[in-house]
Amino acid sequence: MSKWFRTLVVPFSLLALVAAACGDGGGEPTGPGGTTAPADCPADFKVGLALDVGGLGDKSFNDAADRGVQTAIDDGLVCAENVEKIEANATGSNRGENVAGLAEAGFNIVIANGFLFSTEILGTIADFPDVNFAITDGFSSFLFDDPDTEEVEPIPANVADLTFKEHEGSFLVGAAAVLACGCDTIGFLGGQTDAPLIQKFEAGFVAGAQYIDPNIQVLVEYIDPDPAVGFNDAVKGEALSTKMYQNGAELIYHAAGASGAGLFTAAVKENKLAIGVDSDQYLTASAEQQPLIVTSMLKRVDVAVYNAIQATLDGTFVSGAQVFGLAEEGVDYSTSNTELMTDDIITQLDEIKALILDGTVVVPDVPEGV
């Protein structure tokens, strides 16, 4: 195991999330620290990854989870031939079926990548008590341990929700937006309409922008109430982004999964700025898009997935909600675009980060008026 991840492996309830993990770069597999991956791996340990709509290649949320699995392979936690990845169909109607299939096939841990898996796999969790289930952005814990009910049902020992304080990371990129563009109007592009998870991104982004400039105008557009459309329609993403650019926005931040590709297309056509999400989207952008991507809000799904795999292998898997924010290094911002993310901006953002960590700045997780 590489030193980079070895320092992280702790009981699952105390996960510490860290900086960027490497994907599969080809050639001899290496861990994030650049060390050669172990030659051996446990022959009887199996990992299943159920992806949400958009699948692999979304350059965002699904790819982030895949990086966590790939790093586990590179570090010898699981053999490549013992990993199976299943993509949801275009509507996501087979989410539960995909998870059940992996559980039935005898996988030791099944990672369900997306909050919409939470309700669809409850029966599967109960039917397979010897299989661990980790739901990114999940809320299954709240469906069991509900303090508002007279009878509280215990959370099953084999399910964990891997959740994040997206509003805290979004606050930082909201501040970065104003500092980088020096403009009076910016925009936010959300994927699924009225989704509390996506509203956390909006709330933090708007608050961070207003922290720098209380008079900043923030245009807001959501793609669709149907998550299959909201997170997987780059054409609508481009159209709504173009609308905001033409209405005065000089920069737009998206939380729209694969639909966010449309934002970057619009940014090039309008020659305006953009901010990515989940992964460092500057690194996967085209040469003409890169100069326009100021930063990305990093959501460390990859490391949370890695540690869930490690905890299952070690027998230290802990059920319930695992919440990762700035304090746990579960969210952050990228600095790949050195032309726009100057040392001065980075210094200011790190000062703001310290204020959030010590409680001086409290970041809202619900948009104003909601």
Alpha carbon of residue 127 to chain centroid: 28
Assigned token pair, 74: 């590179």
**Would you place residue 168 in the very low, low, confident or very high pLDDT band (cuts 50, 70, 90)?**
very high
Report the pLDDT value the prediction gives residue 26, as an integer from 0 to 100. 33
Are the beta carbons of 179 and 348 closer than 8 angstroms? yes
Report whether pLDDT(8) > 60.
Answer: no
Report whether pLDDT(3) > 80.
Answer: no
Other CB atoms within 10 Å distance of the CB of residue 270: 18
pTM recorded for the entire structure: 0.80
Structural domains present in the chain: 3-164+300-324 (3.40.50.2300), 167-299+338-357 (3.40.50.2300)
Mean pLDDT score, 60-75: 94
Q: Which helix (H) or strand (E) holds 84?
A: strand 83-87
Sign of the CA dihedral running 233, 235, 238, 240 = negative
Q: What percent of the chain has pLDDT over 70?
A: 87
Return the higher-pLDDT residue of 250 and 23: 250
Q: Worst-scoring range by mean pLDDT, 7-11, 143-147, 163-167?
A: 7-11
What backbone torsions phi and psi does residue 20 show, to the nearest 5 degrees? -50, 135
3-class secondary-structure state, position 187: strand
Q: What is the pLDDT of residues 124-142, one digit of tens each?
A: 999 999 999 999 999 987 7
Q: What is the pLDDT of residues 80-106, one digit of tens each?
A: 999 999 999 999 999 999 999 999 999
Assigned token pair, 217: 């105008």
Report the pLDDT value the prediction gives residue 146, as an integer from 0 to 100. 53
* Cβ-based neighbours of 213, under 8 Å, separated by 6 or more: 178, 184
Report the pLDDT value the prediction gives residue 152, as an integer from 0 to 100. 59
